[in-house]
Amino acid sequence: MARNNRKLTESDFVMFNVVYEDGALSSNRKVPLTEIDGAADTAGAKAVIEAQDRDIAEKSGRPRGRVKTIERVKRK
């Protein structure tokens, strides 16, 4: 079976804006399409972003607030 070795491109991601409970905004967060169930899957994207935040917090030693809302960025 052949392996797909191509690199991910910009179209392989869906972008989301995230607002945290403390009012902080994180714009254009990339979520791989392979990690969610379609481009409109905000619940799956929220889980991926929270996992990314935990990983970043672990490496930086600075915890991130809880996600309040998540919204898909519309393409131009």
Q: What is the pLDDT of residues 40-67, one digit of tens each?
A: 788 999 999 999 999 999 999 999 899 9
CA atoms within 13 A on the CB side of 59: 6
Q: Which residues pair with 16 in a beta bridge?
A: 29, 72
Per the structure block, which two tokens stand in for 34? Answer: 């392979």
32: pLDDT confidence band, cut at 50, 70 and 90? very high
